Amino acid sequence: MTDGEFTMAVNIDLVGKSAIVTGGGRGIGRETALLLAQAGACLTIADLDETSAKSVADEIQSKGGRAIAFKTDVTSAESTQAMARAALDAHGRIDILVNNAAVWTTKLFKDMTPQDYERDIRVTLFGTLNSSRAVLDAMTAQKYGRIVNLISDAGRIGEPYLSVYSAAKGGVAAFTKAFAKEVGRFNITVNGVAPGICNTPGAQGFIEGAGGAEKLAKAYPLRRLAEPIDIANVILFLASDMSAYMTGQIFSASGGYTTIG
C-alpha cells in the first residue's frame, strides 16, 4: 500500500448496465430510477401511468442519462414481456430489475371486498412474479442479474389495516428467498428491501389517516419517517456489485422500527 491509496472516493459504477424500475413514475421508484441513472445505468421506467414514467425518463435525459418510458401493467404477463423486450431493444441487455410497483388498500380486513384484495395481490405479488419471469431469460443468458424486490415491514411483522397487503408482501419475501436459491448459479442475485413508512404520494393517505408524520415518527428510533432517497440508497447497493455475495436476503430500511433477523 502506498501513500494516497485511500484518497479516492468509493464509487458505485453502473455504467453499461441496463435497469428496469417498475412503478418508476413516482415515489420510491422515481427516486431509485434517478439514482441508478446517476450511477450510470440506462433506465427503463415501467409504469401504468405513462405520463409520470415519461416525465422521469425526460428528467434523466435532460441530465445527460439514457432512459425510456414504457407503459406497463405488471398484473399482465404479456405487458411485462413487452416491457422486457422494450428494455432489450433500447439498451441491449437487462442487468437490474427493481420490482417496485405495488398498491395497497387501507381498511380493516372485515371491510375489504374480494375486489380489494384481488387488486392488492395482483399488483403487489403477481406483478413481482410477472416482471421477474419476463427478465429471467435475458439475465440467465448473460449470466448476470440483480433483482431487488420492494417488500415492506408490513410483510415481515404484519400491519393492521393492511392485512392483505401484508400477505402479498409476505409472499414477495418468500419468493425472494426461494427464487434466489434457483438462480444463484446464473450469477443472478435476488434481494428485498423492506421500507418503513416512507414519504411518497402513495403513502399520504395512510400517513394522514394515522395522525400525521410527526405522530408516526415517534415510534421510530431515528424519530423520522423515510424519504424516498433513504430507500433508493439501499436499492442502489443491492443493484450493484457491492452486494455481489448477498442473495435471498431482506433488509429493513425502517429507521430501526423493525429489528428482526
Residue 28 makes contact with ligand NAD by CB under 6 A: yes
Stretch that binds ligand NAD, among 17-25, 34-42, 88-96, 182-190 (CB under 6 A): 17-25
Encoded amino acid at 127, one letter: G
Encoded amino acid at 253, one letter: A
String marking each residue 111-150 x if it binds ligand NAD according to CB under 6 A:
------------x---x----------------------x
User: What is the spatial distance between Cα 227 and Cα 9, in angstroms, rounded to a whole number?
Assistant: 25
With CB under 6 A as the rule, give the number of residues binding ligand NAD.
30
What SS3 class is residue 10?
A: coil
Nearer to ligand NAD, 100 or 240 (CB): 100
Is residue 165 annotated as part of the catalytic site, yes or no? Answer: yes
Check if the beta carbon of residue 176 is closer than 8 Å to that of residue 191: yes
Residue 36 makes contact with ligand NAD by CB under 6 A: no
Nearest distance in Å: CB 16, ligand NAD: 26
- Residues 17, 18, 21, 23: which binds ligand NAD (CB under 6 A)? 23
Pick the catalytic residue from 117, 144, 165, 257. Answer: 165
Task: Find residue 88's DSSP bridge partners.
Answer: none
Question: H helices then E strands: how many in the chain?
Answer: 10, 7
Residue 73 makes contact with ligand NAD by CB under 6 A: yes
Task: Find residue 162's DSSP bridge partners.
Answer: 107
Nearer to ligand NAD, 40 or 202 (CB): 202
Closest CA to 196 of 171, 173, 227: 227
Check if the beta carbon of residue 224 is closer than 8 Å to that of residue 195: no
User: What is the spatial distance between Cα 21 and Cα 114, in angstroms, rounded to a whole number?
Assistant: 29
Nearer to ligand NAD, 48 or 97 (CB): 48
Nearer to ligand NAD, 56 or 144 (CB): 56
User: What is the spatial distance between Cα 160 and Cα 147, in angstroms, rounded to a whole number?
Assistant: 29
- Residues 48, 139, 164, 232: which binds ligand NAD (CB under 6 A)? 48
C-alpha cell at 206: 395512510
- The residue behind cell 434457483 is 182
Stretch that binds ligand NAD, among 2-10, 89-97, 99-107, 180-188 (CB under 6 A): 99-107
Nearer to ligand NAD, 31 or 144 (CB): 31
- Residues 98, 195, 230, 240: which binds ligand NAD (CB under 6 A)? 195
Residue 200 makes contact with ligand NAD by CB under 6 A: yes
Nearest distance in Å: CB 121, ligand NAD: 12
Helix (H) or strand (E) holding 132: helix 127-142
Pairing verdict, β 188-195 and 145-150: parallel
User: What is the spatial distance between Cα 215 and Cα 80, in angstroms, rounded to a whole number?
Assistant: 39
The catalytic residues are: 165
Q: Which residues bind ligand NAD (CB under 6 A)?
A: 22-23, 25-29, 47-49, 52, 72-75, 100-103, 123, 127, 150, 152, 195, 197-198, 200-203
